[in-house]
Structure 1
Amino acid sequence: MTRTTADIGPEAADGGAVDRAVAAFQDGNPVLIHDAADREGETDIVYPASAVDADAVAHLREDAGGLICTAVSDAVADAAGLPFLEDELDHPAAADHDLAYDNRSSFSLPVNHRETFTGITDDDRALTIRRLADAAATAARSDGYDAEAFATEFRTPGHVHVLRGAPDLLADRRGHTELGLAVAAAAGLPPAAVVCEMLDAGSGGALTPTAAREYAQRNGYVYVEGAAIVDRLG
């Protein structure tokens, strides 16, 4: 059921911002997505993975500062044999996850593309991310893509953290993983999106939504609330 503006507030109901975010993705540009005040309460810079180059990685390092991750759809992760990382770790630290903001983490394997050197440089991470987008596109259109095919291109551990989207995206979970993938899907792009949390250099905490909006306005980026994406694309 579609919610009304009264239910979610005027900023969250800004479908125009969602349309602008989709258009930005189609042009290969990043958008800023705030998930929700009652969730992580963070704004991520989000790129279509297929458009990420070394300059984009530098942008994420310098203007966001969080962990640079690549989200792929559940179907792609399943085809490539990419598990939830916590399910694969046989260590007491991996048990009894009690996240304050969600039921589980989206983290899968951290990877490097096999053509990278250390994997951490801007060029290396950009290559890994673009190849993940290519792999996602291939897996989404081909029944023959599997874990062995993935392993011919990628190795783990690596420096790009892969996130596994929920099976029904926003109907199941409303994290930046799913919000970014929903925008990519609406833009007709491969099911792969890069997310990175925006941090405040002064406080060390998450950048406030007000500061994130101001940053978006100064730099000509689209800022959109997660609730608007859920309302329009969920």
Structure 2
Amino acid sequence: MSKKLTKNKKKILEKISDKNKKYSLEKALLLMKEINFVKFDASVDISIHLNVDVRSLSQMIRGTVMLPHGIGKNICILALVPKEKESEAKKAGADYTGLNYIEKIKSGWKTNIDVVVATPSVMNQLGSIGKILGPKGLMPNPKMETVSVNPGKSIKEMKSGKITFKTDRYGIIHGSVGRVSFSNKYLLENIEIFMKTVIQNKPSASKGSYIKSIYLSSTMSYGIPLDLKSFVNK
């Protein structure tokens, strides 16, 4: 097995041996599929390094985007909603519903939750689990549209392809934009709408070039540097 991995790694390194080369999005998608050697349907991910001061709240980038073709994965949603909203949340597709999960989370309940949705009326009850949800990026937030008076609508949208994004402490946005099995056309359209949304969220306080670098990768593979001209008019 180790020899096969070494052989595959050598193939990858040969393909991307020029460290200074930047690829158009179209060529990067072709190359990404060529150097993908895992046997499962790998996630296609994009990493965008922004020229922002993450210490300043005014330059913290966060938002949502509806990907036209989704990400090829069932999003697992926990709906922390009052009793009268539970039926609405369940019908919309929430995987777990109800305020009883607050105590379960405090007691160490673990599952592969991707998103937590809540109504404004219950936010004052979530303080006790903020330190648990916060570090995982799961704390409901109005800017991420995960705090809503209409949780059913929010849940349906997220199940249909709406994803959230935000800068990490290094000023990088990481996002899943599909699967290797997606057609290049679908991946191209998902990435273009994702990038358009990130660019539209440029804070007025950010000076100079907004985007430092963009990398495209698949699960367990190398990042491919993209030519910024694919997205930014210079």
**What TM-score results when the alignment is normalised by the length of structure 2?**
0.30
Greater helix content: 1
> Which entry has the higher C-alpha Rg, 1 or 2?
2
**What TM-score results when the alignment is normalised by the length of structure 1?**
0.30
